[in-house]
A and B are shown apart, each in its own frame.
Chain A
Amino acid sequence: GAVVSQHPSWVICKSGTSVKIECRSLDFQATTMFWYRQFPKQSLMLMATSNEGSKATYEQGVEKDKFLINHASLTLSTLTVTSAHPEDSSFYICSARGASQIPNQYFGPGTRLLVL
């Protein structure tokens, strides 16, 4: 149980284009989903927290107009990197939390974004 998928797993795009990443909880309803970014040899950096039907809450320093998050249902959240630039190249990972009082987060497999 507690499987989270992400799509795509890899994306290469040209500078200036927008990229959408999907995160799905496959066998549970995710009350909250989280989006992280991880640069090589560094730890996870939380970008934003999203709850179904609500606006996402962004961490300090994360541009909400650049990283658009939509949490349309209890099983799907999307992250759109708008007008991507080479410095946005990173490993983007989503996680999902169910309704348990223990805040376990289950991670998706991640999406590697390379902006040329």
Chain B
Amino acid sequence: QKEVEQNSGPLSVPEGAIASLNCTYSDRGSQSFFWYRQYSGKSPELIMFIYSNGDKEDGRFTAQLNKASQYVSLLIRDSQPSDSATYLCAGGYDSWGKLQFGAGTQVVVTP
């Protein structure tokens, strides 16, 4: 059973602070990992993906992957109210590109 686990939150973050989201996965065969942001009532949008151990930065977002420990994280620096959303972690696990999604972490950025 392929599982991706996330804390459901809500994670309350003061504006300007760093939001730290974590995700663990069970399938060691997963090669690539994705972070999606989903606003209430909307469909997910891709923030970034990572497939190598270490950090990957894109603007205010940094994804971290540790395959030995089977966890992925996402840091959001200088959090803004517009970052308030549910963040979905997903792992890719087959040749068709199927993704296993976590349940999502709700982030609330407070002014």
Give the B-binding residues of A (Cβ under 8 A): 32, 34, 42-44, 46, 49, 51, 57, 93, 97, 102-110
Contact = CB atoms under 8 A, between A and B. Distances in A.
A-B pairs, top 10 by smallest CB distance, nearest first, are: A103-B97, A110-B43, A103-B92, A107-B43, A43-B103, A97-B97, A93-B43, A44-B101, A107-B44, A32-B96
Most buried by A among B43, B49, B99, B102: B43
21 contacts: A43-B101, A43-B103, A44-B44, A44-B101, A93-B44, A97-B96, A97-B97, A102-B49, A103-B32, A103-B96, A103-B97, A103-B98, A103-B99, A104-B97, A105-B97, A106-B46, A107-B36, A107-B43, A107-B44, A107-B46, A109-B43
A63 B97 CA distance: 22
A46 B101 CA distance: 9
B19 to A, nearest CB: 19
Interface bin, chain B: 20 to 34
B88 interface: yes
Interface of B: 32, 34, 36, 42-46, 49, 51, 88, 92, 96-99, 101-104
Given A93-B43, A102-B49, A43 B88 contact: yes
Contacts of A93: 43-44
Given A93-B43, A110-B42, A110-B43, A105 B99 contact: yes
